[in-house]
Amino acid sequence: MAVTRDEFRALMNTMYNYDIGVDWNNLVLPPVISTGLLGEVQANINAIGNLQEKIKEMERMIEEYQVARQHQIMYLNELNRIRDQENGEKQEGQQNPEYMDRD
């Protein structure tokens, strides 16, 4: 015995508390029935989007840190050069280990 449209519609109303509509050529299923995991899928999409934004922010911070670190090294090297010139401690081709860059 086949299920009639009214019986199937009543079953859907009872099981899911959702009316699938009267146009059986164009049934309207609720999103939870369609995917089964709509809330979880949306949460994952949001988490992935937030993760990508965080990765971009971290990449930007790393680039800024590297530039800042290079500026610090150049500044320290210049200070060491000036100090050595003033004190006359550094000879040509010889480095003072106390003031060497330790990167």
Q: For the chain, what is the domain count?
A: 2
CB-CB contact of 33 with 16 (8 Å): yes
- What integer pLDDT is reported at residue 89 of this predicted model? 57
- Please check the confidence at residue 19 and state whether its pLDDT lies above 60: yes
- What integer pLDDT is reported at residue 6 of this predicted model? 80
- Please check the confidence at residue 91 and state whether its pLDDT lies above 60: no
Same domain for 7 and 29, yes or no, is yes
- Please check the confidence at residue 10 and state whether its pLDDT lies above 80: yes
| 51-80 tens-digit pLDDT | 778 888 888 888 888 878 888 888 888 888
Mean pLDDT of 5-28: 74
Token digits for 38?
A: 């709509």
In a domain, 21, yes or no: yes
Same domain for 55 and 83, yes or no, is yes
In a domain, 51, yes or no: yes
Q: Which domain holds residue 28?
A: 1-36
Q: What are phi and psi of 87, to 5 degrees?
A: -90, -15
| 20-53 tens-digit pLDDT | 676 667 766 666 655 566 667 777 777 777 777 8
Helix, strand, coil percentages (3-state) for the chain, rounded to 5, are 70, 0, 30
Same domain for 44 and 83, yes or no, is yes
In a domain, 11, yes or no: yes
